[in-house]
Amino acid sequence: MVVNQGKVIAIRGSVVDVLFPDSLPKPHSLLIAGASNRLALEVMTYLSSEIVRTIALTPTQGLARGSTVNDTDRPLQVPVGEALLGRMFNVFGKTIDGQKQLTASQWRSLHAAPIPLCDRTTTTDIFLTGIKAIDILAPLEKGGKAGLFGGAGVGKTVLITELINNVVSRYEGVSIFCGIGERSREGEELYREMKDAGVLNNTVMVFGQMNESPGVRFRVGHAALTMAEYFRDELHKDVLLTIDNIFRFIQAGSEVSGLMGQLPSRVGYQPTLASELAELEERICNTTSGSITSIQAVYVPADDFTDPAAVHTFSHLSASIVLSRKRVSEGLYPAIDPLQSDSKMLSSQIVGDRHYKIAQAVRQTLANYEDLKDIIAMLGLEELAQSERQIVYRARRLERFLTQPFFTTEQFTGLEGKMVNLEDALDGCDRILNDEFSDRPEQSLYMIGSVGEIK
């Protein structure tokens, strides 16, 4: 077999220009170079009839002008199948969990077209998580995309691990965790936690870590999605795809774009931000045989929700769960902001009249309390009318009832984790709104599951 060979003519950081005098490689082809072919390059664009511009997926130390580059004549691929369960992979499909390498029989390209609209299901089902604040105020869609928005240190990763724990124990599906630009420490901790929780056997983990090249961080999301699509299409399973953090995917795209010499767009982001994000997001959907439900952590730079990365991500989501630093400071965990969090599923046609009315009443009560906070700060609670004081008492009890002890934080809180079914959560909110617990201290509703646990 004749290998198409080229020569390196320029290296700028992670960008390598290669001359192919005979024939150009295909778009997205994987090229290998360096001693013992350890360096991987992906074709990104064509500069002329003989020169391609590539992005390095491995460090470029040791590569020099004139180095020989071989075209593999195939795109980047990852293994697929049930053998992946319980293992941790990198973007090349190699295991990184310290155990023996996997010998998978099937490999698939990272690049695939989204499922055509005619092959998708048009029915809408609710994806229950067992977390009160989410199931009542921002219910997730089965086969939809939900975003966890928040700045640094407000609990995105903790909430994602709890969702994985709850979903694997409730649904007989597969969970795929994709770490984009995560710290190596977090990946190692998550692996151990999932092993201890007994959910690792139904989980595949894929990491493109913070210390790796932007090309790896840019492609690792596609690698996880390729594995998820196989479970959905070939094995007909429901898949939970958790991505932590989708902002790092956008950031990696921005780095690649800058290295490629493209002119930046607004706030310094890549001009192709919208299309790159859509390329990834539109592959996540429901089919008649299975579904991929995605929960994505979204870091919000400087807590600014008008940042282009946050705005473009919002447009793809069916539910937005916003985490609030203010609630963290008040010790209300999970720190979900009930007024900013929202879901397209929260309509009476989908969730039913009772759920819709209770959710709206909870939101209205908390919004009224928010309006009264300035008056309370200036004049004190005593200056409010009796009806307004009732709103404050109800709102404070609702805030505490919407907290919940997590299974994944038992070692820190000393509280046993709770999973609450939707009916119990709605019943609790309804009874608080009807002042059933006005004679109980508000602290008795803090960090409990259903209202039956009130001491």
377: how many CB neighbours lie within 10 A of its CB?
Answer: 8
Structure tokens at 345: 């599923």
Written as one string, the DSSP assignment of 166-219 is: HHHHHSSSEEEEEEEEE-HHHHHHHHHHHHHHT-GGGEEEEEEETTS-HHHHHH
Identify whether 418 is a catalytic site residue.
no
Catalytic hit among 53, 108, 132, 156: 156
Other CB atoms within a 10 A radius of the CB of residue 342 amount to 17
Cβ proximity of 209 and 187 under 8 Å: yes
Give catalytic status of residue 156 as yes or no. Answer: yes
Q: Which of 65, 183, 192, 373 is catalytic?
A: 183
Q: Give the residue carrying structure tokens 């009560």.
A: 365
Query: Which residue, chain included where needed, has tokens 């969702």?
Result: 163
- Are 141 and 295 contacting, i.e. CB atoms less than 8 angstroms apart? no
Convert 252-292 into a string of H (helix), E (strand) and C (coil).
HHHHHHHHCCCCCCHHHCCCCHHHHHHHHHCCCCEECCCEE
Composition of the chain by helix, strand, coil, percent to 5: 40, 25, 35
Of 182, 212, 229, 276, the catalytic one is 182
Which residues are known to be catalytic? 156, 182-183
